[in-house]
Amino acid sequence: MIEPKLIAVLHAIAGAANVYPDVALPGAQAPWITYQQIGGKSPTSLDQKLIDKRNGVFQISVWAKTRPEATRIALQIEDALSLSALQVIPMGAMRSDYELDTKLFGSRQDFSIWDDRL
């Protein structure tokens, strides 16, 4: 399955306390990483049978106190995913953001990830 392997890669970079599905918990201390499945392909064969693989497009976001820190962590994520057991294709370069309310710098990137269905 994709999620346990993805989470393990992210924990290796940020530690378990700073990785969240969808959104960070209230009061989380930066930097943190969030991941969210935002789509993917439904893998079926020509005879309409599901194959034993699963695809998901995951948006992975980093929020940090400085732009260089957010960029550094985002690049670590891209490198770690490329070297992982997952089949990963970046869906473009990272995008930068700034959150006025929290005064945090963000970097987010989308990845198409394939792995075993179960």
Q: At 34, which CATH number?
A: 3.30.2000.30
| pLDDT value of residue 14 | 80
Q: Print pLDDT tens along the chain (118 aa).
A: 899 999 999 999 987 779 999 999 999 999 999 999 999 988 777 777 777 889 999 999 999 999 999 999 999 999 999 999 999 999 999 999 999 999 999 999 999 999 988 7
Element (H, E) at 74: helix 67-83
| pLDDT value of residue 48 | 75
Element (H, E) at 9: helix 2-14
Cα–Cα distance for residue pair 99/23, rounded to 1 Å: 14
Determine the structural domain holding residue 68 and report its residue range: 2-44+51-116
Q: Domain count for the chain, please give it.
A: 1
Paired residues of 111 in beta bridges: 58, 90
